[in-house]
């Protein structure tokens, strides 16, 4: 009897020792990539995506997803807490982000990158279509939608104004052939670098009164249009800003070959 009791005491002390010297994490497996960090979903349910919880937010990294269907499956698995801070997707292997692909899940920041090449030229950008309603569940949460490289030549720009808190939109390194009309009361940063449009319509900035950053490098805009745009942007900013300090913070860039 005493022997058994002693054995328990020994085990208890031993476990205290391990916890003190090696930390709780190594005992209960926090180092295991498949360890579930609540409120994230079970790693097995969402693989090959991975969810991380840090800075009081859930971050979903789906850079290893293999096709549209698999992405749909991931977001239709058991996801107990559907409000995510961020989502990372590859521009390769995906072709369409459908209306229903993300189910009930919402995001604040969405980034679509080239996963295979650091240099965009090595990228096999197949992502071509984003449905007007793909991110509509995030209508009050979405702050940024950033597509760094894609095959998107048409985008539902008329929906941007519906996102109540969006401040950054990026569609760069893509075959967008016409300059979009955007109406948004909240948008501050717009990046349309390296697309294929040649003209900038005259009233293009009227719909984005809060804009402070605009980058349009590496489009085929002729120099007269560039000069006109610069003037127009300055006039707009003077008109819209109550303090001139706003102008100093403005980054406006049309450079690049025309």
Among positions 111-170, residues that touch ligand NAG (CB under 6 A) are 120-121, 126, 128, 149, 151, 153
Question: Within 10 A of 10 (CB to CB), how many other CB atoms are there?
Answer: 10
* CA angle 132–73–47, rounded 5-degree value: 120
What minimum distance in Å lies between the beta carbon of 15 and ligand NAG? Answer: 34
Q: Is 61 in the site for ligand NAG (CB under 6 A)?
A: yes
Q: Is 88 in the site for ligand NAG (CB under 6 A)?
A: yes
What minimum distance in Å lies between the beta carbon of 208 and ligand NAG? Answer: 12
Decide whether 61 or 77 has the Cβ nearer to ligand NAG.
61
Spatial strand order of the sheet with 168-171 comes to 50-54, 57-61, 86-90, 109-113, 144-147, 168-171, 189-191, 213-215, 251-253
Residue 171: name the closest of 213, 137, 104, 216 by CA: 216
**CB under 6 A: which stretch of 36-44, 67-75, 76-84, 229-237 binds ligand NAG?**
229-237
Give the Cα separation of 144 and 111 in Å (integer): 8
Decide whether 11 or 177 has the Cβ nearer to ligand NAG.
177
Footprint of ligand NAG (CB under 6 A): 61, 63, 88, 120-121, 126, 128, 149, 151, 153, 173-174, 194, 218, 232, 235-236, 239
């Amino acid at each position: 009897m005493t022997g058994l009791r002693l054995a328990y005491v020994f085990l208890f002390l031993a476990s205290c020792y391990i916890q003190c010297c090696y930390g709780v994490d190594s005992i209960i497996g926090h180092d295991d990539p498949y360890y579930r960090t609540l409120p994230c979903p079970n790693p097995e349910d969402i693989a090959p995506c991975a969810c991380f919880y840090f800075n009081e937010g859930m971050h979903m990294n789906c850079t290893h997803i293999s096709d549209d269907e698999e992405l749909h499956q991931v977001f239709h698995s058991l996801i107990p807490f559907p409000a995510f801070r961020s989502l990372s997707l590859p521009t390769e292997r995906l072709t369409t982000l459908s209306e229903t692909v993300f189910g009930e899940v919402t995001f604040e920041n969405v980034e679509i990158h080239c996963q295979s090449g650091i240099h965009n030229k090595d990228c096999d950008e197949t992502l071509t279509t984003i449905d007007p309603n793909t991110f509509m569940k995030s209508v009050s949460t979405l702050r940024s939608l950033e597509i760094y490289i894609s095959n998107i030549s048409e985008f539902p720009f008329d929906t941007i104004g519906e996102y109540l808190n969006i401040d950054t939109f990026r569609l760069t390194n893509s075959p967008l052939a016409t300059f979009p009309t955007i109406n948004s009361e909240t948008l501050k940063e717009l990046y349309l670098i390296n697309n294929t449009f040649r003209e900038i319509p005259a009233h293009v900035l009227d719909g984005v009164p809060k804009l402070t950053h605009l980058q349009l490098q590496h489009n085929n805009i002729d120099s007269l249009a560039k000069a006109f745009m610069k003037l127009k942007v300055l006039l707009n900013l003077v008109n819209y800003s109550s303090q001139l300090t706003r102008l100093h913070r403005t980054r406006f860039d049309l450079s690049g070959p025309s």
